[in-house]
Amino acid sequence: MEAVLAELEAALGHCFARAELLVRALTHRSLANERAANEHAPSENITANSEVETEGTGDNERLEFLGDAVLGLVVAEALFLLHPEWQEGELTRVRSQLVSRQHLAEVAAAIDLGSYLRLSRGEDKGGLRRKSTVLSNTMEAVLGALFLDGGLEPVTVFVRRWVMGEAAEQLAEQLRTGAALGNYKSALQEHLQASRAGTPVYRVKSESGPDHRKRFLVEVRLKAADSEAGKPLARGKGSTKKHAEQDAARRALEQLQAAGEKATAQAEVKPRAKKEELAAQ
């Protein structure tokens, strides 16, 4: 039990003084219900000593409630301090993306939180530990346990590294460039519609990896009016089809914007060169 928890504590960057808090945060209600029905049923997922098991009984839903509130506070404070130039609307938009269930599930996957989740036998066999909703809820519960055990400091350290990190910078860049926050597909469609170039069409080119760690390769093509999907714009990768489509849309949008800036620069150079030629004559 201690060795298993130590691995997760290393990823969290915090050694728990009260190990039962982390055990509780990892306990799904299915296991709590199973044990309520059969007090002596052992857990398949973690072999625990009796002391920690007794203190760690119950599920993680109360900790999930606390973790959600603490996460919102820590992210809000960090954004407030890091970006004094942002107004309320900008702060709210970025915070909502960083604390979203989708993003928290990605953070949970990054630290392999699902492998530590304590489930009933039936739910474990059903693949519940890989579901994004369960992962995001467990991540919130773990943050709640971190807060109770060590206060705001360990939560802040973890959140700044894993929840914010590059994601916060990418979202800040989207604000600067005007891209739709977290929705490159919409931004790409709006760009193409504005230029009357056509509409984007997404196709899965390949899938790889085991079921619990799938990788998708998606291509986005430009479909002109009354024609089949034609010119390929970009390809993207992701752990789900939606993530791969967003990545492909992001790459396509960047290429189109770069091409537009280049064309604008060339258009400005031509008149200037003509004036210099006439002046020389």
Residues known to be catalytic: 68, 140
Sequence length of the chain is 281
DSSP string, 180-241: PTT-HHHHHHHHHHHHT--EEEEEEEEEES-GGG-EEEEEEEEE-TTS---SEEEEEEESSH
Instruction: Give residue 160's identity as a one-letter amino acid code.
Output: R
What is the distance between the alpha carbons of residues 117 and 113, in angstroms, rounded to a whole number? 7
120 φψ region: left (φ > 0), alpha (ψ -120 to 50), beta (else): beta
Q: Provide the 3-class DSSP secondary structure of residue 134.
A: helix
Q: Provide the 3-class DSSP secondary structure of residue 126.
A: coil
